[in-house]
Amino acid sequence: MIRPILKFGDQILHDAAKPVDGITPDIDRLVDDMIETMYAAPGIGLAAPQVGIPLRLFVVDLSVGRDPKGLIVMINPEFVERDGMQLEEEGCLSVPGFNATVVRPGRAVIKGLDRAGDPQQIEGTGLLARAFQHEMDHLDGTVFVDRLRGIKREMIVRRIRKLSRAGKW
Ligand SMILES: [Zn+2]
């Protein structure tokens, strides 16, 4: 089932999420729905808070469903290592229509559970490291806009407020 994606300004997106207690049928259904929602958007990553569920869980697929091995489901993820730096344009399904250059690590290793509840550790470089950091941020209530400084952040927030007031957000 495709679930509605919350937009910047919805409180759930700005609060830290809680750990997943166990792989229950509800969690299994949530994972299926998140994958379907991510592919339909389409997007390369989606965190549970974006569909209104404040739990530490995200899905990433750089191939957007074209490569069956491309799908990563991460439950209760933690960083193991982060190093290097990259500067690239970034967007978010919760901030449609806006992009900005965000500083991210060049490499990120994360560990957590897969959807069967088994431990996994995955190393990401380039776009995958960026996606990991972006989704981990969602679990801590941080949207990429919050990573911007000064006038760039102000401009985006102001335009979102304006769209909100006009009922177009
Ligand atoms: Zn996002």
pLDDT digits (tens, 9 = 90+) for 140-164: 999 999 999 889 999 999 999 999 9
Which one of the listed residues 89, 90, 135, 154 is annotated catalytic? 135
Ligand 1: centre distance to CA 135 (Å): 6
pLDDT at residue 106, as a whole number? 98
Nearest to residue 126, comparing CAs of 102, 104, 100?
104
Ligand 1: centre distance to CA 154 (Å): 18
User: Within the chain, what is the greatest distance between any pair of CA atoms?
Assistant: 46
pLDDT at residue 32, as a whole number? 98
Active-site residue flag, 135? yes
Ligand 1: centre distance to CA 122 (Å): 19
What stretch of H or E contains 36? helix 25-40
Q: pTM of the full predicted structure?
A: 0.96
Per-residue tokens: 113: 């559970």
Distance CA 7, CA 137 (A): 15
Ligand 1: centre distance to CA 129 (Å): 14
Neighbours of 30 (CB within 10 A): 21
pLDDT at residue 126, as a whole number? 97
Alpha-carbon torsion (128, 133, 138, 142), positive or negative: negative
Ion ligand 1 — residues with CB < 5 Å = 92
pLDDT digits (tens, 9 = 90+) for 112-124: 999 999 999 999 9
